[in-house]
Amino acid sequence: MTTQLDFSACPSPKWLPDGQSQTIFASLYARRPDMYYARERVTTSDNDFIDLDWNIPGLHPVSASGTHSIPTINWLDSGLQQSPPLPQKQNALVLFHGLEGSSQSHYARAICHYFRQKNWVVVVAHFRGCSGEPNKLPRSYFSGDSADVHTVLNHVRLLLPNARWHACGISMGGNALLKYTGEQQESLGWLNAVAGISVPLDLVATGKQLESGFFGRFVYTPHFLQTMKKKIKEKNRQFPGMLDAHKIMQAKTLFEFDDRYTGPMHGFAGALDYWTRCSSKYFLQSIRIPALVLNARNDPFIPASSLPGIGDISRQVILHQPQTGGHAGFSTGPFPSRLDWLPCRLDKFFSQGF
């Protein structure tokens, strides 16, 4: 595959004139389908759990008909003897959500619905504590969690060994996926392709961006910290005395939160060490399977100056950097807009390789 730098446009609506509006409107108001999911719980090597939300042709309906109840499934209890019956070479997609996201995030529902209509198996992997239930340990999840990405990918491969697997990560989930893909190099040859969408490839640059400007300081950062601090309160109840909860709760920026909790809890010296070592930009040259890295250049989270160029990537990587789209937005069409451009772009890459 020839290395490419693609600047082709995402046709963002004229009534969404900038990255802020394209980000916020897509997240809150753009049309998105209700998805049916069946949940599987996977036990991790440290006796915690990761929840996977599945939608499989022949077993589950495409859409949820307005309900978000998620039944719990067990392949053995279902009489499927561990592997659901699927045609040979069934296409399958595993999706890793962004910071504080889930299978109900707007981008997850849009992507899953699109590919299920094309008869793909789809599964959304929840990072620890993001499926609606606190995880069992003081630790949580972080932007470079290669071990948990490995757990998920290894599990879905073993469950459906005949599927043609693809993987996609959004924002933080894309960073973790691309980092892991670079680390694994040729050993991920069983995976047909990966894609990272709105990825904070340089976590330090993204962190600084979110500390500057009105929206970064007063909209996006408080939005994330609200749910992250709620989880800290729960962990403090679960594990009294193990966290300096008061200090963590005083964090006003993502740097302060990661410096006081995420970094030290996951084996890093602090936020700067964590962000530097986990930035996927430095792993792109090691990727050995087809990979799409899609970033809008007006993403309000990610400065365009921090995006990679041809010199930062391997021959297997395609960089697509449209001028518009916002952060995990990419809505198109008349009011209130649609979210089908992104899954169509993924489909083009997965089917044609560009």
Tell me which residue has tokens 């309900």.
67
| Alpha carbon distance 291, 315 (integer Å) | 10
Q: Please state the separation of Cα 131 from the chain's center in Å.
A: 13
Strand order in the sheet with 38-43: 4-6, 317-320, 291-294, 193-197, 164-170, 91-96, 121-125, 49-55, 38-43
| Alpha carbon distance 79, 201 (integer Å) | 43
Short-list 277, 271, 248, 268, CA closest to 259: 271
Tokens representing 295 are 């970033």
39 within 8 A of 71, measured Cβ to Cβ: yes
* Residue 63, strand partner residues: 35
| Alpha carbon distance 326, 20 (integer Å) | 6
Q: What is the pLDDT of residue 64?
A: 79
Tokens representing 99 are 């910071």
| Alpha carbon distance 80, 84 (integer Å) | 5
Q: How many residues does the chain have?
A: 354
Predicted structure pTM score: 0.95
Query: 135 burial class (0-12, 13-18, 19+ CB within 10 angstroms)?
Result: buried
Q: Mean pLDDT by 10-residue block, N- to C-terminus, for the chain (354 residues)?
A: 82 96 96 94 97 94 70 55 65 98 97 97 98 97 98 96 96 98 97 98 98 94 97 97 96 98 98 98 98 98 98 97 98 94 98 89
| Alpha carbon distance 350, 3 (integer Å) | 15
| Alpha carbon distance 222, 220 (integer Å) | 6
Count the alpha carbons within 13 Å of 274 in the hemisphere toward its beta carbon: 25
| DSSP codes joined into one string, 246-283 | HHHHT--SHHHHIIIIIHHHTT-SSHHHHHHHH-GGGG
| Alpha carbon distance 128, 148 (integer Å) | 9
Short-list 215, 127, 212, 121, CA closest to 167: 121
Quote the DSSP letter at residue 217: I
Tell me which residue has tokens 């960089």.
319
Q: What is the dihedral of CA 142, 145, 147, 148, to 10 degrees?
A: 60
Q: Delineate the domains of the chain, giving CATH numbers in brackets.
A: 4-76+88-201+280-352 (3.40.50.1820), 203-278 (no CATH)
Tokens representing 318 are 């395609």
Rounded to 10 deg, the angle between the 203-210 and 271-278 helix axes is 130
Peptide bond between residue 336 and the one before it cis (omega within 30 degrees of 0) = yes
Quote the DSSP letter at residue 218: I
Task: Supply angle C-alpha 147, 150, 156, rounded to 5.
Answer: 145
